[in-house]
Structure 1
Amino acid sequence: MKILNPFRLGLLGGLGVLVAVGIGQTVISLATILTYVGAALFLALGLDPVVTWLETKKFPRWTAILTVLAGVLGVFTGLIFAIVPVIAEQVRNAVQATPRLVTAFFDGTVRENVETALPWLGVQDLLDGFNEWAADLDVTTIGGGVFAVGIGIATGITGAIIVLILTIYFVSSLNGIKSGIYQLVPATKRAKFIDLAEQVSAAVGRYVIGQGSLALVNGVLSFIVLTLIFPAFGLPVKYSALLAFIAFMGSLIPLVGTLSGSIVITLLVLLFNGSPSVIAVGIYYLVYMQLEAYVLNPRIMNKAVKIPGALVVIAALAGGTLLGILGALIAIPVAAAILIVVQQVIIPRQADL
């Protein structure tokens, strides 16, 4: 191709680069907002199957939406007025017990508990390392870290409220949003696009319900075991409601959530209760993780998203690396959506060549 005006070509190319950079900076600036919107849309797609199920029970569309929204708000309100005060009280008690815990580090109580529960662990080496780390701490750094944690908590609460409001809006107007998107597709391809979009939407909804069900099972079982069963056998566990809440939140994260939550809970029981409670809690979570991996997860999630196990692991790792916890949450349904497109669009097209 003959270039008639090199300057004009270079100018247009430079302007194109500047526009691309500007778009990238805009996306980065709006990353938090886009994350909120993505999380809310993800949850709305998860609630849509419930609305559809209510419609099959002769509920009008608006009544089904109001019922689901009332249920969501009811659960949120119940969480605030029933669970949060208990957790807040147990967090306050745990904070008040922290000075005694620090004292116990130095008078040998914690060391004795750890050595009794984990005789193979080099406690003295850990204590020496802790003392060296504490001696190098800067008070200014600690204060800045505490302030950063406070800002992070406030930001998280604000984000949760924003996501809840957006979820309510998306649930109530999901059909309208879908119709608007469908109108942008050429009429000759619209029917196929609608079919694929509805399959993807259903897969996302089933996944959200499945993951929420796994988290609910873990949270409820943890609360029952830690609050009722273990104390009945002389194995008291302090702050059981807080620990059950940690189990519930951890199980919302695919693959590593249950394991991470179980490790955190076991370590907290070790610090605040010692042996033999920590041994019982550790054994319980080892058994539960096997139950979830081989019984609950296959039965629930195989009906939700039918994708190979290796692809699940790869998708969760990639999503977590790119977008953190939110990426890990949405990676599996995104992988399911890509698999649907590949199976129903790309493979038939390749077969016709």
Structure 2
Amino acid sequence: MKIHNPFLFGLLGGLGVLVAIAIGATIGSLATILTYIGAALFLALGLDPLVTWLEKKKFPRPIAIATVLVAVLGVFTGLVFAIIPVVTEQVQTAIRATPGLINAFIDGTLRDNIEKAVPWFDVQGALDGLQGWLGTLDFTSIGGGVLSVGIGIATGVTGTIIVLILTIYFVSSLTSLKRGLYQLVPASRRPGFIDLAEQVSAAVGRFVIGQGSLALVNGALSFIVLTLIYPAFGLPVKYSALLAFIAFLGSLIPLVGTVSSSVIITLLVLLFNGPPSVIAVGIYYVVYMQVEAYVLNPRIMAQAVRIPGAIVVIAALAGGTLLGILGALIAIPVAAAIMLVINQVFVPRQNDL
């Protein structure tokens, strides 16, 4: 349709811009809900390989789905009841130890420990800076910040419950969702689209299982080393269960999670134990990060997503910048999907030209 009237042309163009702005605002308002849906769908695709494996073992799909969901919920419940009380107790102990730390700051004991552990660090300068920062604090805004943190924690718990419920729904109805999506593709292109979509789904599932395996390895090794091995050699580490849980959670985040959690754990050991325990813990995590980066991660992820290491790094950084932790989680499977599309769609077309 050709529009010869300049006024009508401008009016329709302006309406189009307004509609685009309205769509963008709507998506922005639904950003949290879309994040929940994306996380749940991501987890559902990660659980689907387990369901498929059970189906290959002659399990009917409904029973396979129920078995996987019961197993996952059982592991999650067991983790909560086994770890959370220990972590809670150690957090309370750490809170009760805070006045002692303050006294150690005052009498110089903690300062001496820090200077012995890291002699290159300007402790006096850091203390002067901390004192100046405390003098500029607005305690009214701190109260509001504490309230905001409480609201954020409540929102996080609610979001976790929503994601779990959506994950259960997506796992149980994943086949029907795929079938409905495939029906939207023209019949002439449907077989190729189905094959490509199944490969992408399998890559996502393998990635979720691989990242979870890395997190379990880091958490288990951290617990064994900090709880059993180091104390046996006269290097006690307080709150080892809490530190191992931090290691597990950190390793769930691709690329930067292990480094970040290792730094946090080392700083906490420095705060609560001092030398020589902090030196031993720092050396352990430096060695572990090398083993994970050059041995564990390449072996697991090479089987999971099959994309070059440089693209893994770029994808994780870009995803984390755009969507935070969720972006870092889904960036590598998305990169794997793009690589599949390029290799199986774009490259063959270029070869036919």
> What TM-score does the superposition give when structure 1 sets the normalisation length?
0.98
Give the equivalent residue in structure 1 for 2:112. 112
Give the equivalent residue in structure 2 for 1:8. 8
Q: Secondary structure of 1:188's partner? A: coil
Say yes or no: does 1:69 pair with 2:58.
no
Q: Compute the displacement of 1:191 (Å).
A: 0.3
Give the equivalent residue in structure 1 for 2:188. 188
Give the equivalent residue in structure 1 for 2:297. 297
Q: Compute the displacement of 1:103 (Å).
A: 2.1
CA–CA separation in structure 1 for the residues paired with 2:67 and 2:220: 24
Give the equivalent residue in structure 2 for 1:349. 349
CA–CA separation in structure 2 for the residues paired with 1:273 and 1:135: 29
Deviations 1:253-281 (A, max 9, x none): 11111000000000000001111110110
CA–CA separation in structure 1 for the residues paired with 2:347 and 2:238: 56
CA–CA separation in structure 1 for the residues paired with 2:78 and 2:10: 62
CA–CA separation in structure 2 for the residues paired with 1:155 and 1:287: 37
Give the equivalent residue in structure 2 for 1:178. 178
CA–CA separation in structure 2 for the residues paired with 1:105 and 1:151: 32
Alignment of 1:207-218 (within 5 A): 207-218=207-218
The aligned amino acid for 2:247 is A
CA–CA separation in structure 2 for the residues paired with 1:141 and 1:93: 28
The aligned amino acid for 2:10 is G
Deviates more, 1:271-280 or 1:94-103: 94-103
Say yes or no: does 1:101 pair with 2:132.
no
Deviates more, 1:185-194 or 1:116-125: 116-125
**Change over 3 Å in CA distance of 1:16–1:88 after alignment to 2:** same
Deviates more, 1:55-64 or 1:207-216: 55-64
Q: Compute the displacement of 1:101 (Å).
A: 1.4
Alignment of 1:47-66 (within 5 A): 47-66=47-66
Deviates more, 1:325-334 or 1:149-158: 149-158
Q: Pairwise CA RMSD of aligned residues? A: 1.1
The aligned amino acid for 1:91 is V
Deviations 1:56-106 (A, max 9, x none): 111111111011000111012112211111111111111221222122212
**Change over 3 Å in CA distance of 1:107–1:60 after alignment to 2:** same
Deviations 1:227-258 (A, max 9, x none): 11111111111111111010001001111110
Alignment of 1:328-347 (within 5 A): 328-347=328-347
**Change over 3 Å in CA distance of 1:59–1:134 after alignment to 2:** same
Q: Compute the displacement of 1:4 (Å).
A: 2.1
> What TM-score does the superposition give when structure 2 sets the normalisation length?
0.98
Q: Which consecutive unaligned segments of at least 5 residues does structure 2 have?
A: none
Give the equivalent residue in structure 2 for 1:249. 249
CA–CA separation in structure 1 for the residues paired with 2:150 and 2:112: 33
Q: Secondary structure of 2:299's partner? A: helix
Deviates more, 1:78-87 or 1:177-186: 78-87
Deviations 1:202-246 (A, max 9, x none): 000000000000000000110111111111111111111111010
Deviations 1:162-198 (A, max 9, x none): 1111111101110000000000000000000000000
The aligned amino acid for 1:68 is V
Q: Compute the displacement of 1:3 (Å).
A: 4.7
**Change over 3 Å in CA distance of 1:175–1:189 after alignment to 2:** same
Alignment of 1:318-333 (within 5 A): 318-333=318-333
Q: Compute the displacement of 1:139 (Å).
A: 0.9
Q: Compute the displacement of 1:110 (Å).
A: 1.2
CA–CA separation in structure 2 for the residues paired with 1:304 and 1:236: 38
Give the equivalent residue in structure 2 for 1:225. 225
Give the equivalent residue in structure 1 for 2:26. 26
Give the equivalent residue in structure 2 for 1:139. 139
**Change over 3 Å in CA distance of 1:109–1:200 after alignment to 2:** same
Deviates more, 1:319-328 or 1:1-10: 1-10
Q: Which consecutive unaligned segments of at least 5 residues does structure 1 have?
A: none
Deviations 1:286-317 (A, max 9, x none): 11111101111111111001111111111111
CA–CA separation in structure 2 for the residues paired with 1:3 and 1:165: 50
Give the equivalent residue in structure 2 for 1:274. 274
The aligned amino acid for 1:339 is M
Say yes or no: does 1:128 pair with 2:135.
no
Alignment of 1:141-160 (within 5 A): 141-160=141-160
CA–CA separation in structure 1 for the residues paired with 2:266 and 2:144: 29
CA–CA separation in structure 2 for the residues paired with 1:97 and 1:168: 41
CA–CA separation in structure 2 for the residues paired with 1:162 and 1:258: 27
Deviations 1:108-127 (A, max 9, x none): 12101101111121111111
CA–CA separation in structure 2 for the residues paired with 1:20 and 1:81: 49
**Count of aligned residue pairs for this structure pair:** 353
Q: Compute the displacement of 1:2 (Å).
A: 7.5
Alignment of 1:198-213 (within 5 A): 198-213=198-213
